[in-house]
Structure 1
């Protein structure tokens, strides 16, 4: 029922018993009030029987609310003394003993009176079973001719010599009714006193267990900095009010006039205005401050924030299973430790408040529970606040409070686990305890607190050392902190506890390959794939490991397998292209790199590889395009700038108008270079020559020649010298063979 209420399903909680009269017309008449059944009870069950054995039927009512039981005695015998009756109890011999399902027919001597028919049922209402004595009302002056019983087995039996105003036992296959005398009851019922509840405009709800509050913050009239509501080791009444709320103003006046009594009781008051929050009113905190000053209010004051109102509404939702409107005035009584004791809706009556404070401040757990309900009774179990459940209400909204409640829940469960419990219950609580730390770790992960992630996963493992998923998650966190040795150890522990975690095999394999244990890494990748044939990353990682082993053919197969699982896996396309290029299939490699760029247009290495491949194939314009894309991806890459400048300056098939760009690119490369290189000067010289700046070309080329000679690169110096001779003749350098650059 509570779960249904929490889900927002309808539940009136005030389902009165109803009596409907058959009027022989299409509609029934509700006569509940007329017959005296219109109690303010939340009805559940009803049983009918002749409790006082006077021949008429009485009624027991079972309620969810108090009184739990009502006995209604039928007193119509004094009004209709001539009415007759007869009772039957059935006993089966070849059918079920209680003859459930039997049909009884009472045949009267006067044919105009017809026959009376009833069927015996087991359970004749919701959660109810009436007496198995079958009652037949006969009216006045009725004479019984005979009674027939159709037993559950199908056989019909007739019983005669039956008189009104008697009780009979009808035994199957006997043919003779047995008169049953009235038994004397030994049970004496005492009518209970049912005081009517006292209604008030103020609703006061004491909690059965002091409730630890979330962090509640408010501001001051003259200071917008948020501050936390604290009790300072004294009980505190937190009162919410507004300047537009007339009952609130009267309440503040009462607090002011009776301040001495309130302080003498050891109670502090914090009056927090909601002015400025409600969209239905255009008042501001300034309006509230004026009223506070005019009243000379003697207690502390503050201004509510939207977060504070939301958290208070969440608190009421937790305790009353639904979020209601935030009606004013509204107050919360906190104990000296800052725990919630009671909630007040409406104007707080000072005398009732001080009485609550006196009772609740010193109440035992059982007394707290008794004070939380409006009627006396017995408790079957002690009520305690389930902090784990409460934490769930704050997760994702207020993680600070979520963490606070979960930490409290870990202490709760730790105390319970100290008790002597059955083994299966201890195992359940052990997992629950560990999972609380896991939830703390996940929250820390969401907020980027890596240290807390590691700490909380380790806490979980102290509770449940063989928790495979926690070992795995801790390994992931440690790997993220580059603590690869510890990460590998926890991956191994995860696999030991649960060998079927494919991700653990894959991630351990990655660490092993990175640390040089390629063969062992391959083993774990293959194990991951055997556990999950759709594990694309494992195929990919296996392919890279096989490539390191020199097994290029199978490496290519694994990259293809990864792409079968995920055609958009651009890393697999790239490394497949690298394998294809290494095998001499430039065209297939170029197609793989093109697929990379169709998925990830700014992939640097794919552009580099395609720029080189297309250059070798003599597709210079395509090569230039990839180099230009690279200048956008890595604008300060000296190697890219130099290669593009050389291509624009020396390839006759390209647009001559791009040669000035070659000069600019070569100059930019030299500016960015940390150390001057003869290759860069050689490119700039070629660019100058391509734009007919031969003097600059000769000067720059000679500098390149000198630098190459100084570095002992005689072959390169010789090639530069040949180009100097071209420039001296007023000719620029042009490459002629596809891919034939001497750079």
Structure 2
């Protein structure tokens, strides 16, 4: 029959996310937006042009700079720069130590809080040197932020010439009112309040800030890396054959370490020997171990005796098997979900899976057994507890409701992104898993709810095509909880209830109720819906009504011809004329 899952949602989702997906893939592959471009600095020379002083200023680091904030950090009357970078160092303070006799003035504005905002955002300040002809008027506007993710000091700083002792100030407040101040001394900081048109000198900080310039220290490359999981991802199950011929599925309700090794890798063999040496300690801690050898993936002719010989020599007491391509692909995908830079797994690599089957920690390079034992309960507890345990430096969690809400929203966005990836890959089980978690974290998101429903509907269509109608019913109903007005899903569900060959599934009464409501909602003019309604009527013994309904459906096909659907409708019409019901013994098409 012609009822199919509505593909419009899937097409729309794919079209809307193609660009985002491609961008994410490039970022995950380690590609940079800037490619180590150096910072640039330009000097306004006063005649409408700028001079490139990037090199002489000392700012031209190849840092992939992102945000920049200006403030008089050391309180010496000139502006210093805080710069954040994509690369390391992530943060630089560039202190302005230029030694000259130029003067300055710094103004902090405070609106009245009624007709103007208290921060005076939008106020316009004009500075004119007092009694100096020919000097230009300096103009600045109070802003909440400038540039990418940047917010500088709210003190508006004006750099002045060396002989500017006094200035005149005019302020146009956000509400349009104007205040003027004359013969104001320079080299000072002032607070100007709108409510009383008052200018008050601000005292400078008394404490001295002692900072010494230093070169950025680069950490030496390390041969090991430990990455604890904050977001928990479900690890795949692996099925192995034991020595006595029985099937063993891992993990089995306790911590499992999956170790990748090779016979040509000396650190691998040392690591396996260390695990063997600590067998008793690992078993007491409840940690299971499986070693997966990768030799045959790159050398199909390798002698299996060489692999077993290495294990026998170190008396390896745990389960050991050869890795397969699909196994490594699954572990690589698991790695890529947790770690932003999607590089191929090194040898050795290890994955710690918790008792619930979630990825807990990834180890690249040889691991320490004591660290492994300390990590066995890493995934236990709340999101905040995992954040604290994963941090490279000690700290505390900000428990303000808005901060907690942002953490939950971020966690939801991660699962939503992976749900989308699984959806686009056609793996509805993975998509449903991630979107379900995302929905639990952010139930108000219409986009997450819609994609979760779409995943259930696609899963139902896949299962129904394999004649697994019981499971298909479950997923149609699950999806309709999140998107109850989806017409295609309602139609497909009613069709199964009306035409299923299995007695425990058929429910003609419910099918007729659903089909009648759907036909009413769609204006009694959709051939596929009318087809389902006719099948439901026939299943309830209303054969003449079914005949009339199908004739109506066929009449609409004269406007929008569909030869395949027309043939199906004519066949079912002949059944209903003979007072026979229709049983769908095949799959949905």
For the criterion TM > 0.5, the same-fold answer is: yes
- 1:228: how far off? 5.0
Checking the alignment, whether the CA contact within 8 Å between 2:105 and 2:159 is kept in structure 1 is yes
Distance 1:178 1:431 in 2: 56
> Within 5 A, what are the aligned runs for 1:321-336?
321=340, 323-336=342-355
1:292 aligned partner: 311
Where relative contact order (Cα < 8 A, 6+ residues apart) is larger, the structure is 2
1:477 aligned partner: 496
- 1:487: how far off? 5.2
- 1:272: how far off? 0.6
1:250 aligned partner: 270
State which of 228, 232, 235 in structure 2 corresponds to 1:206: 228
- 1:365: how far off? 4.9
Cα distance 1:288–1:98, how it changes in 2: closer, same or farther (>3 A)? Answer: closer
Distance 1:190 1:144 in 2: 29
Cα distance 1:429–1:270, how it changes in 2: closer, same or farther (>3 A)? Answer: closer
1:566 aligned partner: none
Cα distance 1:398–1:247, how it changes in 2: closer, same or farther (>3 A)? Answer: farther
Are 2:259 and 1:230 equivalent residues in the alignment?
Answer: no
CA-based RMSD? 5.8
Are 2:562 and 1:536 equivalent residues in the alignment?
Answer: yes
- 1:344: how far off? 0.9
2:25 aligned partner: 8
Describe the SS at the equivalent of 2:516.
Answer: helix
Cα distance 1:22–1:427, how it changes in 2: closer, same or farther (>3 A)? Answer: closer
> Within 5 A, what are the aligned runs for 1:254-273?
254-273=274-293
Are 2:327 and 1:301 equivalent residues in the alignment?
Answer: no
> Within 5 A, what are the aligned runs for 1:87-106?
87=106, 100=123, 104-106=127-129
> Within 5 A, what are the aligned runs for 1:101-116?
104-106=127-129, 109=132, 115=136
Cα distance 1:218–1:23, how it changes in 2: closer, same or farther (>3 A)? Answer: farther
Checking the alignment, whether the CA contact within 8 Å between 1:329 and 1:346 is kept in structure 2 is yes
Describe the SS at the equivalent of 2:346.
Answer: coil
Query: What do residues 329-348 of structure 1 show as CA deviations (whole Å, max 9, x unaligned)?
Result: 11011233443211111121
1:493 aligned partner: 514
- 1:454: how far off? 3.9
- 1:203: how far off? 1.3
1:49 aligned partner: 71
Distance 1:254 1:266 in 2: 17
User: Larger Rg: 1 or 2?
Assistant: 1
Checking the alignment, whether the CA contact within 8 Å between 1:216 and 1:311 is kept in structure 2 is no
- 1:292: how far off? 1.9
State which of 292, 295, 319 in structure 1 corresponds to 2:338: 319
- 1:304: how far off? 0.9
2:237 aligned partner: 215
Checking the alignment, whether the CA contact within 8 Å between 2:168 and 2:183 is kept in structure 1 is no
Checking the alignment, whether the CA contact within 8 Å between 2:103 and 2:186 is kept in structure 1 is yes
- 1:202: how far off? 1.1
2:387 aligned partner: 369
Checking the alignment, whether the CA contact within 8 Å between 2:495 and 2:536 is kept in structure 1 is no
Distance 2:191 2:129 in 1: 14
Describe the SS at the equivalent of 1:444.
Answer: helix
Distance 1:104 1:430 in 2: 55
Are 2:443 and 1:443 equivalent residues in the alignment?
Answer: no
1:182 aligned partner: 202
Describe the SS at the equivalent of 2:230.
Answer: strand
Describe the SS at the equivalent of 1:213.
Answer: coil
2:362 aligned partner: 343
Distance 2:107 2:507 in 1: 82
Are 2:259 and 1:239 equivalent residues in the alignment?
Answer: yes
**Is the helix fraction higher in 1 or 2?**
1
Distance 1:521 1:238 in 2: 62
- 1:204: how far off? 0.8
State which of 529, 535, 539 in structure 2 corresponds to 1:504: 529
1:277 aligned partner: 297
123-132 or 4-13: bigger deviation: 4-13
Describe the SS at the equivalent of 2:530.
Answer: helix
Checking the alignment, whether the CA contact within 8 Å between 2:515 and 2:532 is kept in structure 1 is no
- 1:470: how far off? 3.6
Query: What do residues 21-62 of structure 1 show as CA deviations (whole Å, max 9, x unaligned)?
Result: 759997543467x57x9798x865333234565433344556
Distance 1:455 1:157 in 2: 70
Gaps of 5+ in 2: 1-16, 578-589
Cα distance 1:199–1:544, how it changes in 2: closer, same or farther (>3 A)? Answer: closer
Distance 2:307 2:315 in 1: 12
Describe the SS at the equivalent of 1:208.
Answer: coil
- 1:205: how far off? 0.9
Cα distance 1:188–1:215, how it changes in 2: closer, same or farther (>3 A)? Answer: farther
Query: What do residues 525-553 of structure 1 show as CA deviations (whole Å, max 9, x unaligned)?
Result: 42675599415367667878999999xxx
Gaps of 5+ in 1: 551-743
Distance 1:83 1:336 in 2: 67
Distance 2:468 2:181 in 1: 86
State which of 149, 167, 186 in structure 2 corresponds to 1:127: 149
- 1:267: how far off? 2.6
Checking the alignment, whether the CA contact within 8 Å between 2:67 and 2:150 is kept in structure 1 is yes
Query: What do residues 656-693 of structure 1 show as CA deviations (whole Å, max 9, x unaligned)?
Result: xxxxxxxxxxxxxxxxxxxxxxxxxxxxxxxxxxxxxx
2:378 aligned partner: 360
- 1:479: how far off? 5.5
